[in-house]
Amino acid sequence: MSNSAYCSVQGVLFDKHAKTLVQDPGDRFGSDTVPGGGTNFFSEAF
C-alpha cells in the first residue's frame, strides 16, 4: 500500500518527495541522516 502524501525512510516520516521531515519516532538512540535534498522540518517533528 502506498501513500500519495507521505513516505517513510528507516521509520522516519517525510512528505512524499522526502524533502520535509514530518515526524521522527523519537524512540531510537543515535542519529538520523536526512536524505539528500531534505530541506524542511515540521516544528513538532522531534
Q: What is the pLDDT of residue 19?
A: 83
Q: What is the pLDDT of residue 5?
A: 93
Domain count, the chain: 1
Q: From first to last of the 46 residues of the chain, give the pLDDT tens digit.
A: 678 999 888 888 888 988 888 888 877 666 666 666 667 666 665 5
Instruction: Report the DSSP pairing between strands 12-15 and 20-23.
Output: antiparallel
Task: Name the residue range of residue 14's domain.
Answer: 1-29+38-42
Burial per residue of 5-40, b for 16 or more beta-carbon CB atoms within 10 angstroms, e otherwise: eebeeeebbbeeebebbbeeeeeeeeeeebeeebee
